[in-house]
Amino acid sequence: MHNPQLNKHGELQHLLTIDGLPRDVITAILDTAAPFTEVAEREVKKLPLLRGKSIFNLFFENSTRTRTTFEIAAKRLSADVVNLNVSTSSTAKGESLLDTVDNLCAMQADMFVVRHAASGAPFLIAQHLLATGRDHIHVVNAGDGRHAHPTQGLLDMYTIRHYKKDFTNLTVAIVGDVLHSRVARSQISALTTLGVPEVRVIGPKTLLPTEVERMGVRVFHDIREGLKGVDVVMMLRLQNERMNGALLPTPQEYYKVWGLTAEKLALAKPDAIVMHPGPMNRGVEIDSSVADGAQAVILPQVTFGIAVRMAVMSMLAGQQGSNK
């Protein structure tokens, strides 16, 4: 089957989703990210790999952490980064997505980092570039609607591998608002591709997608039952802004039943790690004592995220020669 993310040599052309990405490509990204983590400790925190490349951060949806870490990653690779803020851009004046892209291509863009509220927007851009013969320009999905957030999924895998070494003997729990979460979809795809034998999703029926079992996960509607004996707890943010209708009672009530407290975490393995993609709602999905506790690896996730994004961008940009 044609994979729009890979070129004819099986190399990464765009990063749109983890779903369908071969295991060896995921592993290669994680392996490549490892030496990038060391750059932050240098006198000069820069590598010359993307010198002279122009990377456009196209954020049609608000984000601070993701946009900033993409920007730092690109700058540490010596690329020129242009941030486009949608509220001040032509889109606000009615320009279409693809017209915006065409204009930026005319400014010699080499890569687009795209976040959009509509699922599939980065794929649409990649298809458009292919159809117009500009497939030397790369697209990185920085989160599209409820679909995917592949670099988040990859940095989560990097974090798990850093602390747990091997994926093939782990039990991993994903807790909370799976329904609205593109992060959860990317995590599930990555975990199952990397051979994690048991992936659990834990949440209220109203916040789990129907037939989520078909993604290869075990479903729990009781958080205490679901957390028993797990190695990794991946919390999700409660996405108030994406909710239509009454899926939830109140944040306080959600916290009482679904919030990760020290008492609930004690049901997991003693050396279990706690992850969160941010931004955290303290006192809603996670208690402060857990978020700041010894088992939390939430800030290392952010740091690893820079290295993983450096790896993705340099692997994409480095392919420009080989498919010419």
Binding residues for carbamoyl phosphate: 65-66, 115, 149, 152, 278-279
CA–CA separation, 60 vs 117, rounded Å?
7
Q: Is 135 in the site for another protein (CB under 8 A)?
A: no
Please state the closest distance from residue 18 (CB atom) to another protein, in A.
Answer: 20
Please state the closest distance from residue 191 (CB atom) to another protein, in A.
Answer: 23
Tell me the window of 35-43, 137-145, 248-256, 270-278 that interacts with another protein (CB under 8 A): 35-43
Helical H runs in the chain?
A: 23-36, 65-76, 97-105, 121-131, 150-164, 182-193, 223-227, 251-258, 262-265, 288-291, 298-317
Angle between helices 65-76 and 298-317 (to 10 degrees): 50
Question: Which residues, other chains included, contact 264 with Cβ-Cβ below 8 Å and sequence gap of 6+?
Answer: 223, 224, 227
Using alpha carbons, select from 81, 98, 82, 100 the residue that is nearest to residue 90.
100
Q: Is 72 in the site for another protein (CB under 8 A)?
A: no
Q: Closer CB to another protein, residue 47 or residue 118? A: 47
Q: Backbone phi, then psi, for 187, in 5-degree steps?
A: -65, -45
Tell me the window of 24-32, 59-67, 132-140, 237-245 that interacts with another protein (CB under 8 A): 24-32
Please state the closest distance from residue 13 (CB atom) to another protein, in A.
Answer: 12
CA–CA separation, 15 vs 123, rounded Å?
9
Please state the closest distance from residue 53 (CB atom) to another protein, in A.
Answer: 10
Please state the closest distance from residue 303 (CB atom) to another protein, in A.
Answer: 16
Strands 138-144 and 80-85: unpaired
Q: Is 280 in the site for another protein (CB under 8 A)?
A: no
Q: Is 22 in the site for another protein (CB under 8 A)?
A: no
CA–CA separation, 276 vs 282, rounded Å?
11
Among positions 1, 2, 8, 48, the unique one binding another protein when judged by CB under 8 A? 48
Among positions 2, 38, 106, 168, the unique one binding another protein when judged by CB under 8 A? 38
Among positions 57, 187, 189, 314, the unique one binding another protein when judged by CB under 8 A? 314
Among positions 20, 35, 195, 249, the unique one binding another protein when judged by CB under 8 A? 35
Contact between residue 55 and residue 110 where contact means Cβ atoms under 8 Å apart: yes
Q: Is 23 in the site for another protein (CB under 8 A)?
A: no
Tell me the window of 37-45, 193-201, 241-249, 256-264 that interacts with another protein (CB under 8 A): 37-45
Q: Closer CB to another protein, residue 42 or residue 256? A: 42
Using alpha carbons, select from 121, 139, 117 the residue that is nearest to residue 129.
139
Q: Closer CB to another protein, residue 44 or residue 131? A: 44
Please state the closest distance from residue 36 (CB atom) to another protein, in A.
Answer: 8
Q: Sheet containing 138-144: which strands, arranged edge to edge?
A: 80-85, 54-59, 111-116, 138-144
Annotated binding site: 65-66, 93, 115, 149, 152, 182, 237, 278-279
Structure tokens at 149: 């957030």
Residue identified by tokens 């949608």 is 86
Please state the closest distance from residue 165 (CB atom) to another protein, in A.
Answer: 17
CA–CA separation, 305 vs 290, rounded Å?
21
Residues at the site binding another protein, with contacts judged by CB under 8 A: 11, 28, 31-32, 34-35, 38, 42-44, 46-49, 314-315, 318-322
